[in-house]
């Protein structure tokens, strides 16, 4: 076994980028007014 840690696999980098983009998209959608209160006119 070599004494240097292995590089991060490509699939992890792709997954990480997609995950961060999705989280930012969800947060951005909710911060820009695409929230639940605005769509629930009957809410007290």
Q: Measured from the CB atom, is 1 or 32 closer to other proteins?
A: 1
Q: How far is the CB of 29 from other proteins (least distance, A)?
A: 9
The tokens for 6 are: 């292995």
The DSSP 8-state label assigned to residue 39 in this structure reads G
Q: How far is the CB of 10 from other proteins (least distance, A)?
A: 9
- CA-based nearest residue to 10, from 21, 2, 18, 20: 18
Binding site for other proteins (CB under 8 A): 1, 3, 5-6, 8-9, 11-12, 15, 19, 22-23, 26, 30, 34, 36, 38-43
> Distance from CA of residue 11 to its chain's centroid?
16
């Amino acid at each position: 076994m070599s004494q240097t840690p292995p590089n991060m696999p490509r699939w992890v980098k792709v997954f990480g980028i997609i995950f961060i983009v999705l989280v930012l998209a969800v947060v951005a959608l909710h911060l820009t007014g695409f929230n639940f209160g605005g769509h629930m006119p009957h809410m007290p």
